[in-house]
Every structure is written in C-alpha cells, then in structure tokens.
Structure 1
Amino acid sequence: MTPAAWKAMGGAALAAAVVAASPARRRHLTLGATADENSRALPGDELIAAPAMVSTRAVTITAALSSVWPWLVEMAGPAAPGMRVERCDPGQTLVLRSAAGDRVWSLHLSTYWLNARLISRTRVAPGGLRRLAQEPVRLATERRTLLGIKERAERNALM
C-alpha cells in the first residue's frame, strides 16, 4: 500500500472514532425514545446477542393500536428490503432479520395514555467501518418510516 492510502485509512479510522464517540451520535441512536425504552429488553434482542450497534427510536401516535398495526406491516416491508419476518405478534411486535443474519429490526407497539407508542430497535452485528458509515442513511430512512406510519395511522383514525 502507498503512504497516501495508509494516510487515508488512518483519517477514515480517526473520523469514525470521533463520530462513534460523539454526543450527537448517541442522540441520533435514541431519537424519540425514553431512557426506559432504550434499556428495556425487547423481542428480537436475543437474535444478535452482542451487537456492534443498537439504536432505539420511538414516536407517539395519536391513534389506537388497531389503527397503527396495518400501516406498520404495510410500510415495514418496503422500508426493509432483504429482510424476512422472524417474529410477528399481531398488534404488538414485528421482528425482521436480514438474510445474512447480521441485522435485526424490531417494531413494537404499546398503549401510551390514549395513544400508541411505536418503538423501533435496530441491532447490528460487528462489521467494521462500513456499518458506521451507513448510520446516517439508516437514521433518515427509519425516521421517515416511523413518521410515515404515524401520519397514515393518525389520518386513518380521524376518518
């Protein structure tokens, strides 16, 4: 390898380390979730026992659980290409796992006052810098999916 290549690799490793330790990253990995939701064991966690990365994000939806579940199932598929259903407890939990088994995305519904609470957890097996580089894209995609489910369920509840 050339010195320039080594320097580029070192710079990328340093940048990854800074991003990995930043408070902004921690905020993004837990966007919308409470401390209890972040620390609680959820169905699907057991599929990757020692993850390299865990994100727990959540949103409150002004609608009954029965208004949210159909949108959760419908939108989770297109938002998760290459994933298969690992567990489905209708009205409560949908756990998806990548074909390679290195990523688990679980969606959990619960009652929150008169509303629904949608918790999304992603667990990623160890995989190096590539995983870290993908985090901003996953954040944007997951957030858009959660807000899309929220919007559709709330609109449906008003009808």
Structure 2
Amino acid sequence: MGLGLAVGGLATAYRVFLRERCLTWGATGDEASMTMPGDDLLAEPAVLATRAITVHAPATAVWPWLVQMGSGRGGAYTYDWIENLLGLDMHSAREVLPEFQNLKVGETYPLGPKGPRLRVEILDPDHALVFRSEDGNWVWAFALLHCAEGIRLISRNRIAMPHASIPARLFNLLVMEPGSLIMERRMLLGIKERAEALARNPISIAPA
C-alpha cells in the first residue's frame, strides 16, 4: 500500500509540475499546438510530444541527416550506448551517407533487430518527413520551418497504447517519457551539430 501511494504521488507530481515541459522541450506554445503533417495518421494519441530546436543552417543541410536515420543506416545521433543496450544496433554517422539519401514513401525498415518496423508515410524534401509504425500505434513526424536564424526543426511523437495495463501506463509515464526527453534532446542537438557543420563545409552528395 505504501509503495502504491508513493508511486501515485510521484505520478501526480510529475503530471502537475514536469510533464508539459518534458513533452514540449524546446518548442514554443504555437509549435506545440500547431497542426503538423502526419497528425491525421493517429488522431487521438495517449502520448503527444512535440520538441524542437533552432538550427543555424538551411533546410538543405538538415534534410540529409533526417533521411538517413535508422538502425543499420545513419543511426539516431543520440546516445548510441543506450540505444545498443536495448539491442537497437545504432551507430550514429558523422557524415552524409549517399546510399541512404534516396528515401521514398512506402519504404519500411526496422528500428533495430527487435524494434518495430517504420514506414515512410510522408516525404516532402526539405520540409517534412513522417514515419508510422506498422501496428499504427506510433507516428513520428519531423517538420522544418524557416525562421530568422535558419531552421526550426520540430519533432513530434504521437503514441497510442490501446491495450496497456495500468502498471504499463505508469511505467511509460514515469520512465519512458522522461527517458524519451533525454534521448530526443540529444538527437536534436546531434542533428543541429551535424547540419551546422555541413552548412559551413558543404559537400556535393552523389546519388548512390
């Protein structure tokens, strides 16, 4: 009973004081509430996270890093050692990989050997990229918006949990949501670092 009360109190405190900041790191109020490509693919998510960062580079320097993301591809630009503890086989590239630049709508690839398969649902070069898991319970969208400093890179996760038990929902609330902030923050910073370096030293990307 004591443990249950403690977990309940922790969940309440997180919802009241920290959850909004966790789920909207870096995003303005307008960005968190705006409609993004892919929103209609999962209309009523149990979890909605919109995070963003300013990249001092043009969209053409950001886009190559997005399209090559994935296990066995360019990685996720986050903490590889954590990803690989989970068996995701992520190795974040420091260079643009021409063989992964020709992404197309309808392509699928796994998020690690044991992870879900992601399908490219929307691909608008230099503007928007949207993935959806094959079970339909996760939509991951990226939008590139022009701003005075360069580009606002916005990442939105829409997650459904149709059959999750109460313990599973609590685990997601208290562990997975804060954990996703740690990983996605590092990912956005990793893309920013790479895109800004590419903008300073542009290269010609030959087709694979």
Q: Which of 10, 17, 21 is the equivalent residue of 1:15?
A: 10
Q: Does 1:64 align with 2:58?
A: yes
Comparing both structures, which one devotes a greater share of its residues to helix? Answer: 1
Question: Which residue does 2:143 correspond to in 1?
Answer: 108
Distance across 1 between alignment mates of 2:64 and 2:200: 15
Question: Which residue does 2:80 correspond to in 1?
Answer: none
Q: CA 1:76–1:120 in 2, change beyond 3 Å: closer, same or farther?
A: farther
What is the CA distance between 1:85 and its match in structure 2?
A: 1.8
Q: Which of 98, 111, 117 is the equivalent residue of 2:133?
A: 98
The within-5 A match list for 1:141-152 is 141-152=183-194
Question: Which residue does 1:48 correspond to in 2?
Answer: 42
- Of residues 125-134 and 84-93 in structure 1, the stretch that sits farther from structure 2 once superposed is 125-134
Question: Which residue does 1:130 correspond to in 2?
Answer: 171
| Percent identical | 45
Give structure 1 stretches of 5+ with no counterpart.
1-5
1:108 match: secondary structure? strand
Give structure 2 stretches of 5+ with no counterpart.
77-109, 202-208
Q: CA RMSD in A?
A: 2.0
What is the CA distance between 1:9 and its match in structure 2?
A: 4.1
1:75 match: secondary structure? coil
What is the TM-score normalised by the length of structure 2?
Answer: 0.67
1:136 match: secondary structure? helix
Q: Does 1:153 align with 2:188?
A: no
- Structure 2: which amino acid aligns with 1:143? R
What is the TM-score normalised by the length of structure 1?
Answer: 0.85
Aligned 8 A contact 2:22 2:177 in 1: no
